[in-house]
Amino acid sequence: MATRLIVLSCIFLAFFQSSNAAYNVVSFGARADGKTDSTLPFLRAWGSACNSVRSATIYVPRGTFLLKPIVFSGPCKSKIVFQIAGTLVAPSDYWSIGNSGNWILFNKVSWVSVKGGIIDAKGASYWSCRRAGRSCPTGSSSISFMWSSNIVVNGLKSINSQLIHIAIYHCNDVVLRNLKITAPSTSLNTDGIHVQSSTGITISSSMIKTGDDCISIGQGSKNLWIDHIACGPGHGISIGSLGDNVYEDGVQNVTITSSVFTRTQNGVRIKSWARPSNGYARNIVFRNIIMRDVYNPIIIDQKYCPDNKGCPNQNSGVKISQVTYKNIRGTSASQVAMNFICSSSNPCNGIKLQNIRLTYNKRAATSSCTNAAGLSNGVVIPRSCLQK
């Protein structure tokens, strides 16, 4: 009898634990009017979900919710799904989020997924402040994940960030998919997605139209897989700027595939500051890519030094090696479609070119190489200028 009771209560507990705890932000006082500050109600909903021993869903219904800078901190007791049907907006005064660095921050969390939703940081007045050269706050990323793991962001739309739309720092195992990111081509420093000091990041099936890099990959990024990205307008997908610091972690094992660049400033770029560093970029693959009127479709730029400031000897210490370009075709908006400007103290090596066809004004474009070595294979137009 006693054992039967124990078995029954175990079954009951198991059933109970597998069902989900649900927390609607409205029942914590959030208002869908776009005017009432819903920051505290969101934090209370997070607190309850984070303390739940059962996996929890935080539900944001339709409507517009005003949020000031907010930090969702872990560690939490169980998995959390943030299900967003509505829109999260920042206050229209850009100072209110402008000095916090991040508008919406997830810190030290794991097994969190964000599903759906629109986030609108209302960055336009912040960009005009900067353009006018007035004194402006330092600016915020719209949604950031730091020191986190096993994160999924699926179906989120981000509009008009002040700076970076989505930032990933010190994270492991992150999947970003079905994202829509939009800001005008003239907006300053509005990178779509920035990854740094993180491992195991997948970015897939996303549309990115913005004023800076569609995706930027900073120091210490490893094991990245990026596929089915439609980029443009924007500055393309960039590894770098690397070599910002004398001592920094390198970038390795990055694949970018099945993507289209439309009228972007760059297609696939690796760039490093022209100054000493122990940084590196290696085992990088760019393949199955279409360029449509891209200004610099293929570029390595190790002479990056805006305004010629902070680059005393103009040589980059960053070592670039084992970079493959395969199945890349389309049109260049400038004559030089393939441009390898590598460091004289650390030449690029192990560059591989295979099946490339890039035209400029309906003719073959040209290529340019400085301190760059590698091999070419199959049809390569413009012809390779790599040293063997």
Is residue 304 within 8 Å of 241, Cβ to Cβ? yes
Q: Between vectors from CA 181 to CA 109 and to CA 35, what angle results, nearest 5°?
A: 75
Is residue 203 within 8 Å of 233, Cβ to Cβ? no
Give the x/- contact pattern for ligand NAG in 5-44, rule: CB under 6 A.
----------------------------------------
Residue nearest to ligand NAG (CB): 223
β-bridge mates for residue 151, sequence order: 112, 174
User: How would you classify the pairing of strands 363-364 and 266-273?
Assistant: unpaired
Which one of 41-49, 220-228, 347-355, 360-368 is the stretch in contact with ligand NAG (CB under 6 A)? 220-228
DSSP at 387: B
Rg (CA), the chain: 23
List the interface residues with ligand NAG, window 237-256 (CB under 6 A). 253
**Closest distance of CB 252 from ligand NAG, Å:** 8
Q: Which of 217, 277, 229 is nearest to 253 (CA)?
A: 217
Is 196 an interacting residue with respect to ligand NAG (CB under 6 A)?
no
Q: Is 235 a catalytic residue?
A: yes
**Closest distance of CB 249 from ligand NAG, Å:** 15
First-to-last CA distance in the chain?
Answer: 81
- Site size toward ligand NAG, by CB under 6 A: 4
Among 78, 113, 223, 262, binds ligand NAG (CB under 6 A): 223
- Output the six-digit token pair for 295: 């200004």
Integer Cα distance of 24 and 14 in angstroms = 24
**Catalytic one of 170, 194, 228, 235:** 235
- Beta carbon nearer to ligand NAG, 78 or 253: 253
* Amino acid identity at 220: G
- Beta carbon nearer to ligand NAG, 147 or 225: 225
- Beta carbon nearer to ligand NAG, 49 or 251: 251
- Output the six-digit token pair for 277: 């560093």
Is 225 an interacting residue with respect to ligand NAG (CB under 6 A)?
yes
Integer Cα distance of 263 and 107 in angstroms = 36
- Beta carbon nearer to ligand NAG, 79 or 282: 282
**Closest distance of CB 306 from ligand NAG, Å:** 31
Residues belonging to the active site: 235
Chain residues binding ligand NAG by CB under 6 A are 223-225, 253
